[in-house]
Amino acid sequence: MAAFLLAFMVDCCMSETLTKFWSKLPPDHGKLHIHPDDLDWFRENKWDVQDQPLLTFDKFIRSNRFREDDKQLHLSLLPVPFVGNLEKAKVFILLMNPGLGASNYYEEEDAAFRAACISNISQTNGNDEFPFFCLNPRFAWSGGFIWWEARLRPILSKLVAKSGCTYYEALASLAKQIVAVELIPYHSVDGSALNGRGNPWKNLPSARHAREFVKRLCGAKEKPLVVVLRSHERWGLDEHIDCTCEKCPAIRRPTLNPKLTGKSGAAGRLIMKKLRIS
């Protein structure tokens, strides 16, 4: 997959529209987790997602959906439109959609983890020690922590070496400064869940709001770093955003490792520069 590096202008108020959109998500009350605007879109386009049975971890592992070739969206899980605090971040990392691991259903049955997910969606995490909760070592057993800590480990280690802080303190520092934004907020085994049918996913309301949020970054006053790890074309950046763009070589697994030579390590090096770690 291609990784792209973009520098924009950002303003703390840019997050308000996206946060307000996600405030309309129905409460956590034992139903499928679909934004009402997305649900209307699914119905209009005859995607019968609302007919999915509501799955717990126990029901999931006993169902025919507990397999690698299940390409549907997993709407029993909470959506993940973003991770981290949108107003305070200095680095924005753009991806396609949250994947699916065998542990995802189990994670959401943990009360503390589920509370962190809900606080993240509502953006009431501004004063948390770990707004980017996927770097919270209390959730080191979760798929999100394992994925993000592995990719950010070289940057974290550099921060420890430079500042003399503990690894825990480095995790907390980075968790306050980065945000991941998903184009599609719903879990699936891979990105093929919304492929085909003329790629109508681009009109999904939650995807439109995510793209519009990124577009609004262009006219803001402060300058964050935006790293597009996945789905550059699907984010519509070539069509809608006037910015400086450096294209990195295509890689199967996106990397943030600043130790890699050439453009392969460019994203990691720019993140360190932005956070004044290098």
- pLDDT tens-digit series, residues 181-193: 999 999 998 877 6
Residue 191 is predicted with a pLDDT of 72
Percent helix, strand and coil across the chain, each rounded to 5? 40, 10, 45
**For residue 215, what is the DSSP state?**
H
User: Is 195 a residue whose pLDDT tops 70?
Assistant: no
pLDDT at res. 277: 87
pLDDT at residue 117 in the model: 98
**Residue type (1 letter), 225:** L
207 vs 259: which has the higher pLDDT:
207
The amino acid that residue 180 corresponds to is: A
Q: What is the pLDDT of residues 84-125, one digit of tens each?
A: 999 999 999 999 999 999 899 999 999 999 999 999 999 999
pLDDT of residue 12: 52
Q: So what's the pLDDT on residue 89?
A: 93
Give the whole-angstrom CA distance, residue 146 versus residue 143: 5
What is the gyration radius of the CA atoms in the chain, in angstroms? 18
The residue-averaged pLDDT of 195-199 equals 59
Rounded to an integer, what is the distance from CA 129 to the centroid of its chain?
19
- The per-residue pLDDT for range 222-243, each reduced to its tens digit, is 667 888 887 777 887 654 343 4
Give yes or no for residue 10 having a pLDDT over 80: no
Q: Which residues pair with 244 in a beta bridge?
A: 7
DSSP β-bridge partners for residue 182 = 95
Which element (helix H / strand E) includes 244?
Answer: strand 244-247
Locate 32 and state its tokens.
């499928």
> pLDDT-based confidence at 5, cuts 50/70/90?
low
Sheet holding 178-182, edge to edge: 82-83, 178-182, 91-95, 225-228, 4-7, 244-247
Q: What is the torsional sign of CA 261, 274, 84, 9?
A: negative
Residues constituting the chain: 278
- 196 against 37, higher pLDDT: 37
**Encoded tokens for 116:** 């962190």
For residue 39, give Cα distances in angstroms to 17, 43, 51, 142, 204. Answer: 19, 6, 11, 28, 9
Task: State CA 70 to chain mean position distance.
Answer: 21
Each residue's pLDDT tens digit, 48-80: 887 899 999 999 999 999 988 888 899 999 999
3-class secondary-structure state, position 29: coil
Whether 255 shows a pLDDT value over 80: the answer reads: no
pLDDT tens per residue across span 127-179 = 999 999 999 999 999 999 999 999 999 999 999 999 999 999 999 999 999 99
DSSP conformation class of 5: E
**pLDDT value at position 246?**
41
Q: Percentage of the chain surpassing pLDDT 90? A: 59
Pick from 175, 27, 162, 19: which is nearest to 88 by CA? Answer: 175
Per-residue pLDDT of 211-220, as tens digits, reads: 999 888 756 6
Structure confidence by residue, pLDDT tens digits, 14-34: 788 999 999 999 988 789 999
**Euclidean distance between CA atoms 118 and 83, whole angstroms:** 11
Alpha-carbon gap, residue 271 to 262, rounded angstroms: 15
Q: Give the pLDDT score at 202.
A: 83
Q: Does 44 score more than 60 pLDDT?
A: yes
